[in-house]
Structure 1
């Protein structure tokens, strides 16, 4: 539901905003020791067109680890292994997703849920008290649609691993839901990315979709969103996660430990091939996914935790007339559609575990083990 829809504005006054706040601060590129807990940081003040959000919960995402470790730098060709995630890179400054240098100190955290407790100039004071879920993509709408992302919460500007965060008012979506803050914080970053992947590839009812990394945050979001579209889902994940993924609606399952994952997928989908491949793993799987797509098939990628540099046989792309989509910039319309799905109860939060703000490093260490299904969330 849009923020400008007819609703009754909250009437309860907000609690006084303290001068200082707690936050987990990223002090530089490197290992998990670069995350430093502070309880004396100045509380941000919302500027023109912004709101101040009292953070209730903030979901953890791979982008936090990618930024901290310097994995986005183009010189990195390795996977996001547990070892890299714990120690990071130590060979100089690295780049963010848009190749600009991330400024330190930085408060990370993209998936914010909370309440508005203050407004900047140009924002109606009636918004104070709203419960909001925050779109992490700050856009310049004068740019082409898929090039509008200019800042990302927790990367180019401070995010939600703190008591308070200031965000553009347009990014703070009023949400009415029985879900807890921690449950709602499972949706941003993962679900808007997944929805954008399926929107761009035009996944339709009855089509076959292959999902890699199906047990992760984006992967489980893809499963739910593809189920709503009535697609046939083939999931690739570790064998230990098959039962839980099938309970979400997966029709066919391929263990990533299989000797020949491509052959297993082909056995399940038949000679005609899949209509769509949604890839959040990259690495060696990339070439196989192009081969299991049918002619006119569509491929979308939003992650490369198994490695960013991979092989491609251009004959697959050319002679099968394939489409390929890279997803970094979910549109504002995609996020608004996600909020509507949440409010109408059509999505199920997959909350694996919560951590207090001070224990964020322990949560990141657990995220790197890749043993969970769904999301890990920090609560304040």
Structure 2
């Protein structure tokens, strides 16, 4: 039985809201803007958030086109967790907003607080999950005026930054922080990051520098100077021969978001006992692997999807202390989500594209 939420909010909560629903796998036409979606009701342990802004991510597009399916003829498992996907779905994992109602068992101190949503969810509908869900994939996310999430996943953020700026952090920066944590990046490490101008890549540069690492950024020729401006110590054009440009056995850690045909060269430049961490494959998910490289060099490989304990909380602390800065390339109205996703796929931007939910 759903508990009646505490609705001691500044304004009455409407019955219906505007949101962008993904209605089926496919093209941009599968994203439909509707203004008669019922505002979700928080369960006993949940909070209702009035969304201020929500960032655009690779996951949104990958989910829409069914990229996560392991087989081309079976899209029934094409969700982030590998479970059956349910339509319609409101996507949007990067969320900043204000808590306007709390469930009876949720922390009442969250009411009226501005929060960031932790996108990797261990609790949904009052139940602890055996395998985490992703906000906006297995459950509705933030491409709407309101969203619901377990109170434990709503993190209060004290910052002078705008909602749009704050919405640039959750997914990209937590993904980057998670990879750096899993790969145990410490001061003095030489780190190579691929896809360095994107949301996760640019976040990795900042967070790795905060740890005292020496950062080499791999990116397009037109963006070499831009990634240096973000704080990278060195930039390398992405089509370069890495062994020639950097030297074999020259890098302690590789943070990879690209994979693709050039993937073997990333292992070639790793030092013996080097660490490789991946959280994406935008250059292609099938790679050539010589197992001799793995075991003769004693390499450690980390697949990084589920956020480690305290990773998101640590990120919020970094934001509050202004240790990291937002990088927003452009903002869009919710009605222009099609345009935002189209631009996202060009990879011409540096940083994040963010949907300003206030601009319907």
Report the TM range for the smaller structure's normalisation: over 0.9
- The match for 1:357 is 334
Q: 1:321 aligns with which of 298, 309, 313?
A: 298
* Cα RMSD, aligned residues only: 1.7
Q: Deviations over 1:11-50 (max 9, x none)?
A: x942111000000000010011100000110000001200
Shift of 1:272: 4.0
3-state SS of paired residue (2:310): helix
Q: Deviations over 1:292-351 (max 9, x none)?
A: 100000000000011111111111110110001000001240000000000000001000
- The match for 2:4 is none
Shift of 1:242: 0.9
Q: 1:306 aligns with which of 249, 269, 283?
A: 283
- The match for 1:368 is 345
Shift of 1:262: 4.0
Q: Deviations over 1:143-192 (max 9, x none)?
A: xxxx9642110000000000000000000001100000000001011101
- The match for 1:170 is 152
In structure 2, list runs of 5 or more residues that go unmatched.
1-7
3-state SS of paired residue (1:189): helix
What's the TM-score once normalised by structure 2's chain length? 0.93
- The match for 1:155 is 137
- The match for 2:254 is 277
- Highest relative contact order (Cα 8 Å, sep 6+), 1 or 2? 1
Q: 1:95 aligns with which of 75, 78, 103?
A: 78
Query: Is 1:179 the equivalent of 2:175?
Result: no
> Compared with structure 1, are the counterparts of its residues 262 and 35 closer, same or farther at alpha carbon in structure 2 (3 Å cutoff)?
farther
Q: 1:377 aligns with which of 336, 343, 354?
A: 354
**Paired positions, count:** 346
- The match for 2:5 is none
Aligned 1:1-16 pairs, distance under 5 A? 13-16=9-12
- The match for 1:295 is 272
Q: Is the 8 A contact 2:275 2:300 kept in 1?
A: yes
Shift of 1:195: 0.4
Query: Is 1:133 the equivalent of 2:116?
Result: yes
In structure 1, list runs of 5 or more residues that go unmatched.
1-11, 77-89, 142-146
Aligned 1:1-380 pairs, distance under 5 A? 13-75=9-71, 93=76, 95-139=78-122, 149-258=131-240, 260-266=241-247, 271-380=248-357
In terms of mean alpha carbon deviation, does 115-124 or 23-32 score higher? 115-124
Shift of 1:93: 4.4
3-state SS of paired residue (1:75): coil
